Amino acid sequence: MKRSDVRVCVLRIEGTNCEDETKRGFERAGVSAEIKHLKELDDILDYHILVFPGGFSAGDYVASGAIMAARVKAKFYGQLREFVREGRVVGGICNGFQVLMHLNLLDVEGALTTNMSARYECRPVFLRKERECAFTGSVRGTMCLPVAHGEGRLIGQIPEEQVVFRYVRPDGSPAAGEYPCNPNGSQGDIAAICNRDGNVFGLMPHPERVLEHVNQHDWTRRAPDGEGEGMQIFHSVVSYVEREL
């Protein structure tokens, strides 16, 4: 598939607030991206990549991401399952990760629950890649992205082979559950997972918030140009779709 043919849908409802940055990340990676409200979306099979962005969908009432997930199930859950079976790509960032957990698209028995600190955590964190999936081909070594969530602690039965990123210390050594390197107390320092086939991906940190080098927390100590580290995620998934679909 040519890069110019790749189509991305960033799906929003009331309360999501990271859709513009997510769209911009895909556009910087060279593909067409659209923001669609759930009420506007007629056929997800018009797209190759579907992304649930960050924010506070439906105000996070009941539980984070639960209402959006219920509305997606009511509208096109069967079509979404077909989308995944065909090998198309689904991503969920922060609140979007919470939506994916409620939709049972990640092939795990688990939940994202309240941070161990019992407060909203907004800080840069370091990540180490544990396996390849549709969103990681361009990631090298450790990566620094910001987190911004109140319910990011992953618990449950998470197969080791589905762990994509773990929280680590700045030098790349294990966080070992210690705060703030592991900002939420997630078991096994897990920051991101994927489904068994690697085409559905949930990530708590926000790559769309560091598209340019000036978005990094240490930007004054970096070269005065270039991309932010979050672009590695967008380049990865676009390259994957070019190659595999």
Q: Which positions are annotated as active-site residues? A: 94, 206, 208
What are the tokens at 240?
A: 């994957």
**Cis bond upstream, residue 180 (ω within 30):** yes
User: What 8-state DSSP symbol labels residue 217?
Assistant: T
Residues constituting the chain:
245
Cα–Cα dist 144/66, whole Å: 28
Distance of CA 55 to the CA centre of its chain: 12
66-85 and 95-103 are packed helices; what angle lies between their axes, rounded to 10 degrees?
Answer: 70
Q: What residue type is 120 in one-letter code?
A: Y
